[in-house]
Amino acid sequence: MSESEKHKIEELTKKIEEHNYNYYVAAQPTIGDFEFDKLLEELIQLEKQYPEFLSPNSPTQRVGGQITKEFKNVKHKIPFLSLGNTYSEEELKDFDDRIKKALGNDSEYVCELKYDGVAIGLTYINGELVQAVTRGDGESGDDVTTNVKTIKSIPLKLRGHNYPKEFEIRGEIFMPLKVFEEINIEREKNEEPLMANPRNAAAGTLKMQDSAIVAQRSLDCFLYFMIGEDLPHTNHYDNLKVAKTWGFKISEHIKMAPEIMDVFNFINHWDEERNNLEFDIDGVVIKVNSYEQQRILGFTAKSPRWAIAYKFKTQRVSTILESIVYQVGRTGSITPVANLKPVSLAGTTVKRASLHNADIIEKLDVRVGDTVFVEKGGEIIPKIIGVDLSKRHEYSDKVIYATECPECRATLVRKEEEANHYCPNELGCPPQVKGKMEHFVGRKALNIDSLGAETIAQLYDAGLVKNVADIYNLKKEDVAKLERMAEKSVNNLFAGIEASKKIPFERVLYGIGIRHIGETTAKKLAYYFKNIDSLKNANLEQLLEVGDIGETTAKAILDYFSNEQTADIIKRLKESGLQFELSEDQLVNSSDKLKDVSFVVSGVFSKFSRDDLKKTIEQNGGKNVGSISAKTSYVIAGDNMGPEKHKKAEKLGIPIISEDDFINMIK
């Protein structure tokens, strides 16, 4: 029977990886998302039932869930050199002259786009991915294999059979522009700091400790250089074409260039067209095609002599700063925004740019009427990088930062440890009230999808809602009087409101909008305190005992529950029937057996996924910690536990237990 299931797992794995390739590499999907998810779910269940057949390179491992606290430094077998840069055609001609002087006229170039991301080296043995290492300092980099496995365009097992037994392929991991924009929209909505640009976002994501979050970020990867002893061809271009048949994502924008003029044509084309790509590039790379000629040309101490990068000039324009306005966010955070004289930049018309906070305005000494330099570079959101002082009017005045909320006229406050000013009138300031309601009804919270921003604004302006609790006191006849509120719309709205009463406690806790409480933190608090009253009555020390709760977050929770108005809102929401405690199903496996007991989870387990193991710890009152210290109660060790962690636990005398030992603890 088990052999039959093994065969089934292998066939299912092959089918899923084929669909992965079709979708993420070939861009020609053959099934829908629903059908794909059903196949993946079937494989997950089989691997749980038969863990002995779970491969480290199974497609189920792409969803992440493993935690990496320390990224091991690995020495590159062959140095990961950087390329020499040039910004001028003259220097490119000099490069071409040097090549011809060394090789004669018998040489040709390969032109490629220069991706703006994180350089990576992938090692394959017998067709399977065994290691992924960042460029680092060129001599050594960080092992990020666990996180790289979540990138669906990187094959875990190669297609075909004609690949070398062992080789390395190098490339660039990047964040697609659409993904970057979506993340920043979500962060702006939650009033979190925006990511500066896709390159930094990709680098930060690749070094995140939780691979499940990496999986959600939808990173992508182009591969562009192979290293190995038994490569099928003696030149760069043909090997990339073969690599494509093995399942690697090789850019379609690679071109042979027999002469330097062909290189210039390629550069000029992409200097114009780069704004139409779905990812960032910052130049073009030119390589000599023949490996033998590359060997003859050799290397300098830092760079290969057979390749060079032509960098595009940073996209920058100047325009007039016409005014500065102040926007109020959901949590009361004030953001100064520069209104600009419209100007074309990187294919779009720019009219506004964020000035972030008072410190940035002071640092730039930017003034209304100034001619300012606006840059996009790798950024999606334009930023003001400086002022043309030669054009400043002699009577210009320094900007005096707002002291009152532009919406409700409350006096702004600024805490010492924070960069932003805030409007303290959180329950009376219109943008804050509307923003809190939009957050509350959002998909990740109460999920009342028939109650969007426009409807909330209508209800608020009509005086029907002033806070989230009022949503549950709405009357159909009042709502029906509003514009664009037909009978079907009204019925959908009230059906959504009624359905929201079944949303579990952790999502309600996220939805009420306590500052600094995101989805993950809300879930931890819900499982730790079990109900809203226990959380409300917790003191600072008790809050700090919850994993990943720092002093700033703990104080925000205390401030929230000490406010009489918010206490009344919670009371009314309770009376309306919302879930403010864990359900019976959630409590079935819960207990206080592990109260005041902390665990470090390390390795691979057969009876739990790492996420399930950590969830079980929290459900039983325990605490997950990331690193071993003298305060750690136990280390739960699975297969392949890191030797350094094992050594540290033994040195500190921390008990190392198995997952079976853990199961006995909570029986």
Query: Which one has a higher pLDDT value, 192 or 29?
Result: 29
**389 near 295, Cβ under 8 Å?**
no
Residue linked to tokens 């070094």? 207
Q: Can you tell me the distance from the alpha carbon of 525 to that of 533, in angstroms, rounded to the nearest whole number?
A: 12
State percent of the chain over pLDDT 90: 52
What percent of the chain clears pLDDT 70, i.e. is strictly above it? 97
Q: Are 611 and 510 in contact (CB under 8 A)?
A: no
Mean pLDDT for 442-458 is 90
Q: Give the separation between CA 338 and CA 366, rounded to whole angstroms.
A: 10
pLDDT of residue 394: 86
Per-residue model confidence (pLDDT) at position 547:
66
* DSSP of 529-564: H-BHHHHHT--HHHHHTSTT--HHHHHHHHHHHH-H
Query: How far is Cα 184 from Cα 190, in angstroms, rounded to an integer?
Result: 10
Strand-pairing partners, residue 167, are 124
Query: How high is the pLDDT of residue 32?
Result: 81
Q: What is the CA radius of gyration of the chain?
A: 29
pLDDT for the residue 534: 94
Looking at this protein, which amino acid is placed at residue 624?
A: N
Q: pLDDT per residue over 354-399, tens digit each? A: 888 999 999 999 999 999 999 875 555 688 989 999 999 988 999 9
Pairing of strands 281-288, 656-657: unpaired
The pair phi, psi for residue 231, each rounded to 5°, is -70, 145
Going along the chain from its start, the domains and CATH numbers come out as 2-63 (1.10.287.610), 74-311 (3.30.470.30), 315-423 (2.40.50.140), 430-502 (1.10.150.20), 505-587 (1.10.150.20), 589-666 (3.40.50.10190)
Question: By CB neighbour count within 10 A (0-12 exposed, 13-18 middle, 19+ buried), where does 393 fall?
Answer: exposed
Q: What pLDDT is recorded for position 584?
A: 76
| CA 53/CA 598 separation, integer angstroms | 32
Amino acid, res. 53 = F
> Which tokens sit at 600?
């470090």
What local confidence, expressed as pLDDT, does residue 62 receive?
82
Q: Which helix or strand (DSSP H or E) is residue 125 part of?
A: strand 118-125
pLDDT at 347: 64
| Predicted local confidence at residue 334, as pLDDT | 93
pLDDT in tens, 49-102: 888 888 888 888 787 667 777 788 899 999 898 898 898 889 999 999 999 999
pLDDT value, residue 305? 93
pLDDT value of position 276: 86
With a cut of 80, say whether residue 441 has pLDDT above it. Answer: yes
Average pLDDT, the chain: 89
Confidence of residue 450 (pLDDT cuts 50, 70, 90): confident
HSE-CB at 490 with a 13 A cutoff on CA atoms is: 14
Given a cut of 70, whether residue 138 has pLDDT beyond it is yes
> In the structure, how many helices (H) and strands (E) does the chain have?
25, 20
pLDDT at position 638 is 86
φ and ψ at 513, to 5 degrees?
80, 40
Give the Cα separation of 276 and 177 in Å (integer): 11
Residue 229 confidence (pLDDT) above 70: yes
CA distance 368 to 370: 6
Residue 42 tokens read as: 């079937």
Q: For residue 132, what are the β-bridge partners?
A: 122
What CA–CA distances, in Å, run from 621 to 43, 314, 376, 599?
32, 53, 48, 11
Model confidence over 456-511: pLDDT tens digits? Answer: 999 999 999 999 999 999 999 999 998 888 888 899 999 999 999 999 999 999 99
In whole angstroms, what is the distance from residue 494 CA to residue 455 CA? 13
* Tokens encoding 512: 């009420």
Residue 442 has pLDDT above 80, yes or no: yes
**Rounded Cα distance, 219 and 344, in Å:** 29
Torsion of CA 556, 189, 423, 372, to 10 degrees: 130
d(CA 626, CA 601): 8
Helix (H) or strand (E) holding 172: strand 166-174
| 307-353 per-position pLDDT tens digit | 999 998 777 889 999 999 999 988 888 999 999 999 888 667 888 88
Q: Of 48, 69, 114, 571, which residue is the catalytic one?
A: 114
150-190 per-position pLDDT tens digit: 999 999 999 988 899 999 999 999 999 999 888 888 877 77
Q: In angstroms, what CA-CA distances link 601 with 173, 208, 401?
A: 29, 17, 49
Q: Is 249 a catalytic residue?
A: no
Cα 12 to Cα 560: distance, rounded to the nearest angstrom: 50
